[in-house]
Structure 1
Amino acid sequence: MFGRSHKEKHYSHRAGWLRAAVLGANDGIISTACLLLGVAAAQATHEALLTAGIAALVAGAMSMAAGEYVSVSSQADAEHSDLIIEREELRTQPDAELRELTGIYINRGVSPDLAYQVARQLTAHDALRAHARDELGIYDSGMARPFQAAVTSAITFSSGAALPLITALVVPGAWLIPALALTSLLFLLILGSLAAAAGGAPIQRAALRVGVWGAAAMAITAAIGHLFGTVV
């Protein structure tokens, strides 16, 4: 009955780095492609276009890294504070905490006697981890990791931003705008598909979602760039 167990494939442990990676790459592609399309539509020179694209890549990567680090650090601080409070309550009110943990399992459908036994055993094994998981919803696999999120976002943003920038570098000016739009849309569809596959989600829906929003962003930016270039 308790012999060799079968292994199941789960995806939730990837949530932290996958969110940062997809957000970084998606933002890199869309923001850089939109900027390049807007500048190109405003009739800027090729040198100015490439300068703007490189500046967007560097600034965006640093902004993503800083933003992720600050936001995830705030989450980590909140988790740390909750764990400090919980540790103190376990030290000063162990009986009350045991009853609280028992009540959690009862509310989940476990019989009172069994819930009490489970709570006692988990408390004896690792009381703080049991309360962190079942009372606070803090899991080891999902805990905030600011540095990991910052590095992942910076790298993936740079990778995403490099794709439309390379297109702008190699495609002649006459074909630049349609080439930028089509290749960037293709990159977004591929990214959405890969992210869906990594997260175990439906691929077509994810690709369509990111493609539609990316196409809308590029169209609006190109139109504004064209209008600005005409007026100036």
Structure 2
Amino acid sequence: SRFFSRLFNKISFRDFGTLILTQGKSESLTIEADQELLSELIAEVRGDTLVLGIDDDWLNRIGKVISSVFNNEEHRIIYHLTFTDISEIKVSGKCTLQCSALTADNLKLKVSGLGNITIDKLESKVLDSSISGRGDFKISGRADEHKLRVSGSADVDAANLASQTAQITISGQGNATLRVQDSLDITISGLGQVNYYGQPKVRQVISGFGKSKRLIES
């Protein structure tokens, strides 16, 4: 276990592994990993950002990530991080992130690569999400305003995230399911699809073969 002498409110999680987030009254980190990997890991605060991943040697990082993709090794590294406050989370590579509850005034999420992200019980005024690559993103809770950008073939499940307003832009083959009460702005290019629950006022601009669909509660 390690504790941090410098405060952070942003997280950059990269390369591969599993990150389990818990919001608490102090910051601490425990890492589970094979002995040969521990010496190659970075877990340090740079400015206001906690960086978690493989060391800064690019060739080493690329080799490790490629190996994890083909050998399903993302569970060889498990980070257990307790944090007090967070405003931004960046995930890149073949990473899994799990968080059971998160409260933040404004939260920015940026996911690229093969990220698999699950956040339960979010409470936020504004959620600003950018999901690219082949990532999967599942989130529930409440965000008064949800801004979402999806590219590549990413899949977003926000069916249980209650929002007053939402703005979504999809390019490529991405798919997203939302829950919106008041207003929904949709922009789709390519083959993207937006499904939504609720009866918001909808404004949409769709090019290519994209489509949107209102879903009925079962």
Larger radius of gyration, structure 1 or 2? 1
- Which of 1 and 2 has higher RCO (CA within 8 Å, sep 6+)? 1
**Greater share of helix:** 1
TM range (shorter): under 0.3
So what's the TM-score if we normalise by structure 2?
A: 0.23
**Greater share of strand:** 2
